[in-house]
Structure 1
Amino acid sequence: MTLDLPTISVVTFSATTVLGLVLCFVWWQERSSPLIGWWGVAQLVMASGIAFAAAASFASSAPLSAFGQALMVFSAAIMWMAAREFEGRSLNPLLVAIWPCGFVIASAVGIAATFDQRLILASTLLAILFLMAAAEFTRREGERLVSRWPAILLLVLMGVGYLAWMPLALTMPIHETSLVYASRWMPTVVLIALLGRIALAFVVLAIVKERQEMRQRLFALTDPLTGLPNRRALFEVAEAVAAHSQEFKGAPICVMLFDLDHFKKINDTYGHRLGDRVLQLFSKTLIDELDSGSTVGRLGGEEFAAILPGTKLSTAATKAEGVRAAFARAASFIDGLPVGGTVSVGVAAHDDISCDIGALFHRADGALYAAKQAGRNRVEVIGPNEALQYEETELDSAWYGERGPLSPAQHATRRYRGSGPADAA
């Protein structure tokens, strides 16, 4: 089967133009990500380059052919810079312009004087730019986008494909612009490049959609004021711990509940703006004082929580005291105002991570209640074999409100004597 290059050129130009217009339209409608818009612009520039290259073959014009090839290089440079911007790096127009300008200069001064030399130079630059774009998509290791890998694979294949033009141009040279349509291999590689561009466009749309969904989910699980996980996120962590409890069976687990003392008074005295600063300061204190293996979050209002898998009660009590003391120091004066912020902490532990974490939160709430009753600004702990002091109706935990009443077996052990290693705090 013989491929007709003039027909393929028309199809390639038309398909690439439509592709670019669709991508630009999608970006214009949603304004979701500049990656889609820039990728669409790149396709339109590529279509222009194809049109100039095709016209040059009919007109036997070497300058027109070089200009068309420069536009193709420009298109790849735009795609590379779009990938850079998507990964949070700078979008520098000079870095985009240097590639096609370099090609034009090389053609003008005679470095790439013949058609085959220009073809080899253009394909080499295209290959480099596609491989560089693939490298950009590998930079953000913390952002787990599954769609990255098809994009990286396609960009690498496109880059390798353009490198394959070099041996083809050397072994089966075209010699003159007017002889392009007589080439035996050019129709095949042009068609393959078109298929690659179409596939990349779909993958780009998939990447943007996946990132949007991931960020929407993250937003739904994040407290906007403090940046910490919210109550729903903490529930999901607890459920994940329960789901994997058999893997770590026998390991201890601790839960901490924090309640900022007299927070309403701080709001009433200094205003809600400073109250927000107090909440943000406490969030930073939690992050600074607790290990990265801990999950901390804001339950709502001035109530925070932390889940510490694999942590013993004595260690958790020490960490809780560190949070209490650090916050008392940091919140003593805020913006020159004598705020005197403090926090009460309740800590509950269990010897087995496969325990009922909902019940453990409730026990931590009992310890927190004891800290409040004992005068605030202190840490109270309750071990696995200790009973709660206060009755169920006295406790008011955000976790408990979500989980509902405890079972009769759990209710039977709900008394707490209000003492522990952190009582002196």
Structure 2
Amino acid sequence: MQLDSATLLIASFCTTLVQGLLLLFFWWQDRKAKALGVWGSAFIIGSVGVGLFAGRGVIPDVLSIIVANALILVAYGLCWAGVRLFEGLRTSVLAIVAAPLIWVLACLDERIIGSQPTRTAIMSVLIAVLCGASTVEFWRGRAERLASRRPLIGLFGACALIYGVRSVYGSLPYPVGGNPAAGPGWYAAFAFFIFVSISIMAFLFVALSKERMEASQRHNAAVDPVTGVLRRGAFMLQAARLVAHYAIERRPVCLLLIDFTAPGGIVDDAMLRRFAAQTLDLLKPNDLLSRMGQNEFACVLTNVTHNDAVPIGESIHAMVACDRALPQGARARIGIASSTQVGHDVRTLVEAADAALERGRQRDEGVVLYHPSLERAVGEAIASAAGRIIPFTGRDRAWHR
């Protein structure tokens, strides 16, 4: 089967134009995805360049060679700018149009405009540089784990490599390079490569933006907007996995329940943010902190026994008491439970720490370490306050308070 380069170029023109319009449509639906708008504009401008290039021999050479290639370079420059915008970076207009300007200035030389191998080499070098720059920008942002990022790195890297080889292909001795680079087979193969690559690229751009949006939604669902720490549901899931991991390795964990209070019972958002930030400073990177309720927090301390957890709880208690930025009389009551006491189960740890915290409220103590005798003592106190005596276990007390 023989590929016809003109047909492939026309197909590339139509495909690129439609995909550019679709990218703009997706951007119109989600204006926060500004990179989609830049990429959509790049595809539309590139489609015009490909269309003019396909008209070679029918329209004037100034349009099919100089203008067409300049528009294609603008499209690649916008793709690079879109990648930078996706990574949170701005790109100057001069940087975007630098490659097209170099091309137009080069075409002012009659020796260049009259030499097809030279024109091919210049265009290939410029496109290879822009594709390579896009590859580097995507690679720098790899810490944000998005499924479509690596395919795009591979695609832009492959484009940079292929265009780089193309730039020197004509200067290599025959049969490795030489004149066949200007033959119809070469152009047909390259037109097919353009057709396939732009189709894949547009799909991956949309997928990448969707993945970031979903990741942002998951983050917002898992993180408390006031303090920036985990919400209750996300904390319970992550804590369960973390505790199970330490159970397999037979290493201890401790859970702290913290009741943060202020005079008059009024705790505003600024106080909560400050408390959460200062508490995080006292924890290790592997530890977890969560806002469990209005003024209640919980944290999981990894690879820590109850003897080590008590000083950490006392540090949190002292931090609140000594912080001049907080209202005078603000305090933190803390209940501590350890896996060495109740086992590696998150809910059991929470119930045990809650029993210790309740004892701290009753006796007005700052830090209380769980002991099995606390459950019955606390249960009897609660039942007595209600005017009746009932047997008490940790499961009798409502978890969602």
Q: Distance in 2 between matches of 1:174 and 1:65?
A: 20
Q: Distance in 2 between matches of 1:354 and 1:183?
A: 74
Q: Is the 8 A contact 1:242 1:354 kept in 2?
A: no
Q: Which residue of 1 aligns with 2:135?
A: 134
Q: Which residue of 2 aligns with 1:290?
A: 283
Q: Distance in 2 between matches of 1:259 and 1:386?
A: 21
Deviation at 1:329, TM superposition (A): 2.4
Q: Distance in 1 between matches of 2:253 and 2:30?
A: 45
Q: Distance in 2 between matches of 1:193 and 1:82?
A: 19
Q: Secondary structure at the match of 1:142?
A: coil
Q: Secondary structure at the match of 1:101?
A: helix
Question: Which amino acid in structure 2 is aligned with residue 26 of structure 1?
Answer: F
Deviation at 1:303, TM superposition (A): 0.3
Q: Which residue of 1 aligns with 2:266?
A: 266
Deviation at 1:24, TM superposition (A): 0.9
Q: Distance in 2 between matches of 1:23 and 1:235?
A: 39
Q: Which residue of 2 aligns with 1:415?
A: none
Q: Is the 8 A contact 2:355 2:394 kept in 1?
A: no
Deviation at 1:110, TM superposition (A): 6.2
Q: Distance in 1 between matches of 2:84 and 2:286?
A: 32
> Cα gap change, 1:4/1:258 in structure 2, threshold over 3 Å: closer, same or farther?
same
Deviation at 1:49, TM superposition (A): 1.2
Q: Secondary structure at the match of 1:260?
A: strand
Q: Which residue of 2 aligns with 1:58?
A: 58
Question: Which amino acid in structure 2 is aligned with residue 209 of structure 1?
Answer: K
RMSD: 2.7
Q: Is the 8 A contact 1:255 1:307 kept in 2?
A: yes
Matched, 1:94 2:104: no
Q: Which residue of 1 aligns with 2:388?
A: none
Deviation at 1:104, TM superposition (A): 1.8
Q: Which residue of 2 aligns with 1:281?
A: 274
Q: Identify the range of structure 1 (275-284 vs 107-116) with the bigger mean alpha-carbon deviation.
A: 107-116
Matched, 1:391 2:379: yes
Q: Which residue of 2 aligns with 1:157?
A: 158
> Cα gap change, 1:393/1:58 in structure 2, threshold over 3 Å: closer, same or farther?
farther
Deviation at 1:97, TM superposition (A): 1.8
Q: Deviations over 1:295-351 (max 9, x none)?
A: 001002000000112111122111122222222222x345xxx54422111111122
Q: How does 1:140-179 map to 2 (within 5 A)?
A: 140-170=141-171, 171-173=177-179
Question: Which amino acid in structure 1 is aligned with residue 274 of structure 2?
Answer: L
Matched, 1:372 2:373: no
Deviation at 1:245, TM superposition (A): 4.5
Q: 2:337 aligns with which of 337, 344, 348?
A: 348
Q: Which residue of 1 aligns with 2:240?
A: 239
Q: Identify the range of structure 1 (386-395 vs 46-55) with the bigger mean alpha-carbon deviation.
A: 386-395
Q: Secondary structure at the match of 2:318?
A: helix
Q: TM-score, normalised by structure 1?
A: 0.82
Deviation at 1:394, TM superposition (A): 3.7
Q: Distance in 1 between matches of 2:89 and 2:316?
A: 36
Q: Secondary structure at the match of 1:11?
A: helix
Q: Which residue of 1 aligns with 2:349?
A: 360
Q: Is the 8 A contact 1:66 1:118 kept in 2?
A: no
Q: Distance in 1 between matches of 2:86 and 2:263?
A: 41
Q: Distance in 2 between matches of 1:4 and 1:107?
A: 28
Q: Distance in 1 between matches of 2:18 and 2:185?
A: 27
- Percent of aligned positions that are identical: 27
Matched, 1:210 2:211: yes
Q: Distance in 1 between matches of 2:59 and 2:297?
A: 74
Deviation at 1:281, TM superposition (A): 0.8
Q: Is the 8 A contact 2:180 2:186 kept in 1?
A: no
Q: Distance in 2 between matches of 1:392 and 1:142?
A: 52
Q: Identify the range of structure 1 (80-89 vs 103-112) with the bigger mean alpha-carbon deviation.
A: 103-112
Q: Distance in 1 between matches of 2:108 and 2:155?
A: 33
Q: Deviations over 1:180-223 (max 9, x none)?
A: 7x633111111111101100111111111111111111111111
Q: Is the 8 A contact 1:62 1:115 kept in 2?
A: no
Q: Secondary structure at the match of 2:225?
A: coil
> Cα gap change, 1:87/1:246 in structure 2, threshold over 3 Å: closer, same or farther?
same
Q: Secondary structure at the match of 2:255?
A: strand
Q: Which residue of 2 aligns with 1:305?
A: 298
Q: Distance in 2 between matches of 1:111 and 1:124?
A: 18
Q: Distance in 2 between matches of 1:94 and 1:374?
A: 70
Deviation at 1:282, TM superposition (A): 0.6
Q: Secondary structure at the match of 1:185?
A: helix
Q: Distance in 1 between matches of 2:302 and 2:240?
A: 12
Please list every run of 5 or more consecutive structure 2 residues that lacks an aligned counterpart in the other structure. Answer: 172-176, 384-392
Q: Distance in 2 between matches of 1:95 and 1:353?
A: 62
Q: Identify the range of structure 1 (349-358 vs 82-91) with the bigger mean alpha-carbon deviation.
A: 349-358
Q: TM-score, normalised by structure 2?
A: 0.87
Q: Which residue of 2 aligns with 1:200?
A: 201
Q: Distance in 2 between matches of 1:86 and 1:111?
A: 40
Question: Which amino acid in structure 1 is aligned with residue 95 of structure 2?
Answer: L
Question: Which amino acid in structure 2 is aligned with residue 282 of structure 1?
Answer: F
How many residue pairs get aligned? The number is: 381
Q: Distance in 1 between matches of 2:117 and 2:342?
A: 69
Q: Distance in 1 between matches of 2:165 and 2:382?
A: 76
Please list every run of 5 or more consecutive structure 1 residues that lacks an aligned counterpart in the other structure. Answer: 268-274, 396-404, 411-425
